[in-house]
Structure 1
Amino acid sequence: MAQTWAVLAAFLFLLINLIEGPAYKAVNVEAGHEAVLSCPDVSKMPLLLVTWKMKCSACCLLAYRSDRKETKKLNCSERMMWKYSPDNNPALRIYPVNLGDEGNYSCEIVNDSGNFLLFSSLTVIVPPTVTLTCDKNRVAACQASAGKPAADISWIPASNQSTEEEVRHPNGTVTRVSYVGWVNSTLPSVTCLVTHPATNQTLSLDLPCNAPRLPYLLIEGLASFAAVSGVILCLILGYRAFRLRKLTRGSAAPSQLRTSSPYPQVTKQKQPTSLSYQESIYQNYNPKSIYMNY
């Protein structure tokens, strides 16, 4: 009698499954976290075969056959494995999940009562990088970069003059920027609200915005230049004073000056005096030669 009720229950479950079609489940997981995809709940009956498939060409296939205790893994990343024992709970575990894992998965279980199928749609959520800046014209820019899905941006206080830009990247992420001007506002600060399924952030910025640093950089640069110029001028003056002292000492010792000076020295020739001239006349005088001429 008990076996009859079990067969009727399995037949009824199979009939409902055929009428309603395969079950469907949506799974949203943040990038870098763990994704767990479930199989049909047929734990009351021992399974014969369980197969995980990712709906794409040449994608992952993970299977387990209970009678042979055999596992088959084809084109699956090392990040994809059974969450528990496939005999008891053949859920699929993906960790850490990334954008490439996004897609449709199917789990098929075969037991004595038939085939049971469950589809899962995996969506990977990427939190954006949020920044808030302001320029000298008091235009604030709130940017939510590379988020999936795109983040929503709002302002406090609310402004009807805000403009928005959006850039869609090839990997499915979206960068959204919102601009708002506060030229005639007397508010002390501006606040940006970023709303996203993975994170909600609030950033505030004081008004007026920080003035550009160019004048300060010029002042600092001039001060640095003046300091360096002063040091160089002191070195030049010190060197010239040293050279002047050296030249002054060298005038008292011409021989020392000539050896130490790097410049060629011009030596003036002395004009012959009358005495030296007379000595040169009689330099070759030979009295004997005069007597011989007689």
Structure 2
Amino acid sequence: MAQAWAVLAALLFLLINLVEGPAYNVVSVEIGHEAVLRCPYISEMSLLMVIWKKNCRACCLLAYRSDHNETRKSNCSERMMWKYSPDSDPALRIYPVNFGDEGNYTCEIVNSAGNFLLFSSLTAIVPPTVTLTFDKSKGAVCQASAGKPAADISWIPASNHSTEEEVHHPNGTVTRVSYTGWVNSTLSTVTCLVTHPATNQTLSLDLSYTSPELLCILIGGSASVAAVIGVTLCLIFKCRAFRFRKSAHQSALPLATKNFRSTPSCEKTDAVKPPVLLESIYQNYRPGMIQ
């Protein structure tokens, strides 16, 4: 008899699980995207009522009653609504998701078979901004900024000298920084692997362009090239200025000679002396000589 009751209890427990489904659901959604929370709805049974609520004081409550064909909404954002018609699929839709939407939600279904509950946990995730740089004192630096949750950072090839730092921001995001410690490494390339629920990224850095010797050579070479270009430009402009002055001098020389030669002719023209002749005439004139 005891064995029969045990078998009956096991069958009943199995039947309840098959009908109700899982009692807890975990949902992770990227910030700005859509979140859909499901209810343990059983389509074969007539729906009497469905209630969505967030488990906190004065939080959102969304309800539908089929016998009155009535929908109620209390303390809910406009971003929270039914995904479909509640009498066909009473899933809750939140779009776009922000940090304030995180928390635990409860969906309660009432039908002819009884009451069914499903608990959901919503977590907002944020993909980090990933950068890979080189520092003279710390070596290669891989940084995953403002991610939620914190990103995991690994290196290729693996380094036993890598260190990590974390900065926690007020909005719940985390910045994680990893240093390889390969300052004087002979490696030509290092790769940073960033793993996160929202994104996976791989960045590579060519260490041959980050050595201090090469930087000095590049800087010196740049300065030498700039000096040569500067001297060349000065010589070009100087030569052009010299040619311009020479050309101007040669073009101005005939004009000055012409003016110089024309000066005597002008003086001769102006040197015609009719007044002198008249004066001599008047000087030699004697009234008595005219009869």
What's the TM-score bracket when you normalise by the shorter of the two chains? 0.5 to 0.7
Letter in 2 for 1:202: T
Q: Give the structure 2 partner of residue 252 of structure 1.
A: 257
> Residues 246 and 197 from structure 1, CA distance in 2 versus in 1: closer, same or farther, beyond 3 angstroms?
same
1:137-286 pair list within 5 angstroms:
139-210=139-210, 211-212=214-215, 213-226=218-231, 228-254=233-259
Structure 2 gaps, min length 5: 1-11, 17-22, 261-266, 268-272, 286-291
Answer whether contact 2:132 2:143 (CA < 8 A) is retained: yes
User: Which residue number corresponds to residue 20 of structure 1?
Assistant: none
Note the alpha carbon deviations across 1:61-106, whole angstroms, 9 max, x for none.
4332212323344565554332333113211123453444322323
Deviating runs (4+, > 6 A) in structure 1?
Answer: 285-288
Q: What is the TM-score of this pair, normalised by structure 2?
A: 0.67
* 1:14-41 Cα distance to aligned partner (Å, 9 max, x none): xx9xxxxxx5432222345442212244
State the AA in 1 paired with 2:198.
A
SS at match of 1:85: coil
Aligned to 1:38: 38
Contact 1:62–1:73 (8 Å) recurs in 2: yes
Identity %: 64
Does the 8 A contact of 2:129 with 2:145 survive in 1? Answer: yes
Structure 1 residue 177: Cα displacement: 0.9
Judged with a 3 Å threshold, the aligned counterparts in structure 2 of structure 1 residues 145 and 227 are, in CA distance, closer, same or farther, namely farther
Q: TM-score with structure 1 length normalisation?
A: 0.67
What is the total number of aligned residue pairs between the two structures?
Answer: 254
Using a 3 Å threshold, how does the CA distance of structure 1 residues 105 and 138 change in structure 2: closer, same or farther?
closer
Runs of 5+ consecutive residues of structure 1 not aligned to the other structure: 1-11, 17-22, 256-269, 271-275, 289-294
Quick one: distance in 2 between partners of 1:89 and 1:56? Answer: 24
Partner Cα separation in structure 2 for residue 163 and residue 202 of structure 1: 19
Contact 1:134 1:209 in 2 (8 A): no
Higher helix fraction: Structure 1 or Structure 2?
Answer: 2
Q: Counterparts of 1:36-185 in structure 2 under 5 Å?
A: 36-41=36-41, 43-55=43-55, 60-73=60-73, 76-77=76-77, 79-111=79-111, 116-135=116-135, 139-185=139-185
Tell me the secondary structure at the aligned position of residue 153 of structure 2. strand
Q: RMSD across aligned C-alpha pairs, in angstroms?
A: 4.1
* Cα shift readout 1:103-143 (whole Å, capped 9, x = no counterpart): 23232334456654433210122222322222456811111
Counterparts in 2 of 1:184 and 1:25: CA distance versus 1, 3 Å:
same
The residue type paired with residue 252 of structure 1 is T
